[in-house]
Amino acid sequence: MNPYPHPIIAREGWFYLGLASAVALAVQVLAGIVWAAPFWLVTLFVLQFFRDPARPVPAGDQWILSPADGRIVAVLPCTDPYLQRPAVKISVFMNVFNVHSNRSPVAGTVRQVVYHPGQFLNADLDKASEANERNALVLETPAGRELTCVQVAGLIARRILCYVKVGDVLQPGQRYGFIRFGSRVDLYLPPEVRLRAAIGDTVKATTSILAEWPSS
């Protein structure tokens, strides 16, 4: 399956881009380019926010890829709240200037989709993982390994979009969801994985490798 069967400007942003462009154009026609300039800047911001570029997928099935663009704000041992087992959590924080399309970190089958309503705390805070609105996918790889990928809403993000269901099979880097206007994605990995990312790293969805499965 082609993991990028979508336009370079995410469909989730077409309405907002059209609205911003129409307002900017109307102001320019009625009042001139000087008055319209701030509205065109807003249009450019909307355009960059909803960009959704194709990304090359690293070769090899041993990699666990970043599910989101952003900055790593947590790498810590914990308990996977969905699989109820020891885990390492890697959290990627997305600000308003990052791409907000979410991609599958591995090839795998969706075993669970779990949605939780919640608060809208700053997604940069670690407690957002448990307090905020979130949507979790439990994925099982062809080798039988499991991990959990959780979309977490943020202070401004008020809409988590997930387009897959239990039983769907995802390819590495395949687009499966979107979060509007700043948020985070948490990965819960088995503790035996080899980490290749650290707090403070800037990562990109699909192209950045966060961890490696141990050799069989």
> Catalytic residue at 183?
yes
Which of 66, 91, 104, 183 does the annotation list as catalytic? 183
**Cβ(124)–Cβ(184) under 8 Å?**
yes
CA distance 186 to 198: 14
215 DSSP 8-state letter: P
9 DSSP 8-state letter: B
**Cβ(123)–Cβ(184) under 8 Å?**
yes
Q: Encoding tokens for residue 143?
A: 């080798």
User: What are the φ/ψ torsions at residue 73 (nearest 5 degrees)?
Assistant: -110, -5
Q: Considering Cα of 182, then 202, then 14, then 10, what sign does the dihedral take? A: negative
**Cβ(77)–Cβ(192) under 8 Å?**
no
Q: Which residues are catalytic?
A: 183
